[in-house]
Structure 1
Amino acid sequence: MSPFSVGIMLRSQVVAKTMSRGMAAQVKAPIKLYSTEGRYATALYTVAAGQQQLPEADKDMQAIKKLLDTNKDFKNFVNSPLVNRIEKRKIMEEILKKVNVGPLTMNLFDALAENNRLSMTDNVVKSFQELMTAHKGEIVGKVTTAAAMDAATAQEVKKVLESFLKKGQTVQIETVVDPSIGGGMIVQVGDKYIDMSVATKKRKLDELLEMPV
């Protein structure tokens, strides 16, 4: 199944629980997120924006993030493979009712539970926050390097990332240190992905050398 088909399916799951398909305005997400958790977050974003309930959905997701950050039992629960899907779905519904989230957010997490993907909760929340950041004209630029960048390098990278932006947008730099890339860097700005890591260059060279002459 293509990413597009998966995205349509997820939006349909969220929409079908609250409204007929014809009632939703067609809303395009500010950036494309290609991961599975990104498509769940996009489903919530597009449905909430179409119903003019984006602030409410944002507030709900912030409340869930707070739970993840402050309640170890909740985080262990959503990540646990030991609780069966049906029971997990019921418990999650009870928790979200206590947090007083709206119906759209409730239905998103019901879809996650139904598909046995509550372990993605943390990343779904992060993906939704990324969409909201882009919605406000702020783009997250994720830069992965083998070692921490010094201030001068970080400033230079920021200038390069700003060249990708549209008028009125600003960029927030998120840095990740991953020694396994060997050197160079991997840059992701919105739906643009640039891999300049030594590890990838080496892999491509190895693949080239292994090709028959």
Structure 2
Amino acid sequence: MALSREEIAARYSKALFEYSYDANVLDEVHDELNVLLQVAKANPEIIQLLSDPILSKDEKRTFLDTFTTGTSDETKEFLKFLVEYQRFSDFIDIIEAFDVRYNKAKNIADGIATTAIALQKEELDKIANAYAKKYGLATLKVKNKVDPSILGGVVLQVGDIRIDGSIRTKLQEIREQLLENKRGETIEH
């Protein structure tokens, strides 16, 4: 029975995490693979080339050596392993799953701050630091999403936690209170 992409990503990312953790190079491997991940996403032909069944493993290893110049031996060995076992087509899924494991181990979270206008980096950092401190995170990485319909304020989404401090929501709450008060007055008369 063939494994699903999720199962492959889970197994290989776990092996990579444990391997780099045991070798005491977890942070280095994480950083290197994320750079390579961005390069691979920007140049999908790299994944195609290293997954191509027509090319020999030696040709793939030669290309891989140029692709991984300057990276640690652990990163190089893992990528060679993916080529050897014909799993390079799963590279992106594996590294994204590895990032999830890494972030969990390092107490790092990702979030989205939705605002009516774009925020400066300093403002995003301030939001991230306040949230991280309140919820006991080592780091919160926040991206900004602009949605003028919220009118103002911030809606912060981190995992399944949503903090809605938008003006639109505040106005809606005030409206509902006024309507509730009006209904209560109407019933009493």
TM-score, normalised on structure 1? Answer: 0.45
Structure with greater Cα Rg: 2
TM-score, normalised on structure 2? Answer: 0.49
